[in-house]
Structure 1
Amino acid sequence: MPPGFIVGVYRSGTTLLRYVLDSHPNIAVPPESNFLNGLASLHGDEWYRKGLQGMGVDDQGLQRHLRRFAGALFDDYAVAKGKQRWFDKTPSYVDIIEFLHAIFGEQCRYIMLYRHGLDVANSMSRMYENDVNRGPGKKYADQYPGAPHLTNLRYWMEQCEKMLAFEAAHPAQCFRVKYEEYSAEPARYLPPLFEFLDEAWDPQVLEFYKQQHDYGLQDYKAEESKGFMPNTGTYQSWPEAEIAQAMEIAGPTLKKLGYLS
């Protein structure tokens, strides 16, 4: 069965969707794996590639070896769980999504998960206690000094634009999901997702909290959940001026995703 990835920015509901998929009898989704970032660095390093070329391993050969190595680890996890296929949920993989495509090929499936950018920025700011240098958006700290919401929003925009570009390039492999929709009406929005994955609908995924899952970093909130509880509009507690500035900054991306008309 084709492997796949849940692709989404941090604080976009990726863990909740991971639990949903992991509750399906055919799909195993481990905690954030992270190690593919290291393989992507190896794959993208010219010095390493030249060394391998000296051993007779060209780029296609390297991709094949990396696919076997990574696939074996995930395959073993799925087998250990008594499942037929695996998905992965690691938000940092947005940055290496083209690498994932290079090694896993056309058969791989991607669930492209989006959440309103201002809610994501609000959640990230709370998570890192407004210290942007502790989070993934730190490279924008100088652009928006003293404004963690805007700094994290800029990070969300950059990641979403990468996701949108990948969707446009590989539409047959991607299925778009919005956090606001699937968390509010899971019985409506989740069945089409499983149809895309060529999996039979199983209502037990709606009771993900009754299933056993392996827990990883940042799973504590979803672990405590007893159902689908949408968390939307959190940014509305911001000052009006900051909301207006945020909308101006993120407007183009929000429009592309249907959050603004």
Structure 2
Amino acid sequence: MSAQVGPPLWMRVINKVRRLIEGPPVREKTVVKVVDPSARKRCPPSFLIGVYRSGTTLLRYVLDSHSRIAVPPETNFLNSLAEMWGSDWMRKGLRGVGVDEEGLLERLRDFAWTIYDDYALAKGKARWVDKTPSYVDILDFIDLLFGAQCRYIMLYRHGLDVAQSMAAVHANDGLGGPARRYAEEFTRSPRLAFTHYWKDQCGKMIDFERRHPDRCHRIRYEDYAEDPDRYLPPVFEFLGEAWEPGVLAYHKRPHDFGLQDHKIETARGFKPKTKTYRHWDREEISEATRIAAPVLEQLGYPVP
């Protein structure tokens, strides 16, 4: 079994040289200050949902390049709001100061919506889309928070490619949270561990799609990266926004730097990365395929 999970040394050197010459596509950081409440306008809520290493950052840059859409780096804070909402101990304490369940939800909703709206306002945009992979685990809470007007772009990538990419990050000690716990549980092979992780996370996404079909738009990384002119316009149509061909030149526009954005600093245009797992040995590919097969079939990927 090959031990190499990241790009070779020569490729890393070339990427660094390109970064020095061309500069990364992330060039600014907006400072969002407290906004006068009278200047606020509640924006339509939307979320880009996908497992880590599924092409969410690339699609985030595309969406953020639209004249009306602001897409911040990973926000993560909704996880803590979901924890507060689900804590009986916290609810009991809040009831003691007169905040019941309905009052708590309204306060959490107003807090979250204000954070996003202020960001969009600071960017001069009319709406926002959040891209935070960990939100796969709190989809029902998000839907409770933002209601029936919320829209979800559900992004998928082949499970073995995701597992390969996550294993490369894990090798550099760059993973935390539930994904890391999978690697600690399935110690025999990080790749198989992350195949299990992909299967479980995609299962949650597919279930959510099934329950909210009218408010979800499914797209695959391989499709939009291979043929962006065909697969990206329907995403904007789903959001009710006009298609702007300029979004395809996302690398020529400034974007705020996020936690995972170093992976795309040298990206220019669309170059799909597929079958990155081909260097695995035959036994590992076979086992990973057996793990992923049920979900791969549901998503329309060929299963040997």
The alignment's TM-score, normalised by the length of structure 2, stands at 0.82
Counterpart in 1 of 2:270? 228
Residues 163-203 of structure 1: CA deviation (Å, up to 9, x unaligned): 01100111111000100000110000001111111000001
In structure 2, what is the Cα distance between the partners aligned to 1:226 and 1:67? 37
Counterpart in 2 of 1:49? 91
1:116 corresponds to 2:158: yes
Counterpart in 2 of 1:6? 48
Counterpart in 2 of 1:83? 125
Counterpart in 2 of 1:152? 194
The amino acid that maps onto 2:92 is K
Q: Contact conserved, 1:125 with 1:132, CA < 8 A, in 2?
A: no
1:136 corresponds to 2:181: no
Report the alpha carbon displacement of residue 133 of structure 1 after superposing the two structures with TM: 7.4
Which residue of 165, 188, 211 corresponds with 2:230?
Answer: 188
Distance of aligned partners of 1:132 and 1:82 in 2 relative to their CA distance in 1, 3 Å threshold: closer
Which residue of 147, 171, 188 corresponds with 2:213?
Answer: 171
Q: Contact conserved, 2:225 with 2:270, CA < 8 A, in 1?
A: yes
1:63 corresponds to 2:105: yes
Q: Contact conserved, 2:199 with 2:292, CA < 8 A, in 1?
A: yes
The amino acid that maps onto 2:81 is L
Higher relative contact order (CA 8 A, sep 6+): 2
Report the alpha carbon displacement of residue 60 of structure 1 after superposing the two structures with TM: 2.4
Secondary structure of the corresponding residue to residue 110 of structure 1: strand
Q: Contact conserved, 2:233 with 2:243, CA < 8 A, in 1?
A: yes
Secondary structure of the corresponding residue to residue 137 of structure 1: helix
Which residue of 47, 58, 70 corresponds with 1:28?
Answer: 70
The alignment's TM-score, normalised by the length of structure 1, stands at 0.96
In structure 1, what is the Cα distance between the partners aligned to 2:64 and 2:180? 32
Q: Contact conserved, 1:133 with 1:141, CA < 8 A, in 2?
A: no
Report the alpha carbon displacement of residue 239 of structure 1 after superposing the two structures with TM: 0.4
Q: Contact conserved, 1:34 with 1:90, CA < 8 A, in 2?
A: yes
Secondary structure of the corresponding residue to residue 153 of structure 2: strand
Q: Contact conserved, 1:137 with 1:154, CA < 8 A, in 2?
A: no
Q: Contact conserved, 1:21 with 1:205, CA < 8 A, in 2?
A: yes
Counterpart in 1 of 2:289? 247
The amino acid that maps onto 1:169 is R
Counterpart in 2 of 1:208? 250
Q: Contact conserved, 1:15 with 1:222, CA < 8 A, in 2?
A: yes
Distance of aligned partners of 1:133 and 1:180 in 2 relative to their CA distance in 1, 3 Å threshold: closer
Q: Which runs of 5+ in 1 are unaligned?
A: none
Residues 222-254 of structure 1: CA deviation (Å, up to 9, x unaligned): 222111110111011110111011111111111
Report the alpha carbon displacement of residue 59 of structure 1 after superposing the two structures with TM: 2.1
Report the alpha carbon displacement of residue 28 of structure 1 after superposing the two structures with TM: 0.2
In structure 2, what is the Cα distance between the partners aligned to 1:141 and 1:78? 37
Residues matched between the structures, number = 261
Q: Contact conserved, 1:194 with 1:201, CA < 8 A, in 2?
A: yes
Q: Contact conserved, 2:150 with 2:215, CA < 8 A, in 1?
A: yes
Q: Contact conserved, 2:169 with 2:175, CA < 8 A, in 1?
A: no
Residues 25-49 of structure 1: CA deviation (Å, up to 9, x unaligned): 0000000111111111111101111
In structure 1, what is the Cα distance between the partners aligned to 2:113 and 2:290? 42
* Identical residues among aligned pairs (%): 58
Secondary structure of the corresponding residue to residue 258 of structure 2: coil
Structure with greater Cα Rg: 2
The amino acid that maps onto 1:86 is W
In structure 2, what is the Cα distance between the partners aligned to 1:55 and 1:193? 44
Residues 65-108 of structure 1: CA deviation (Å, up to 9, x unaligned): 11110111110100010000001111011111111001000101
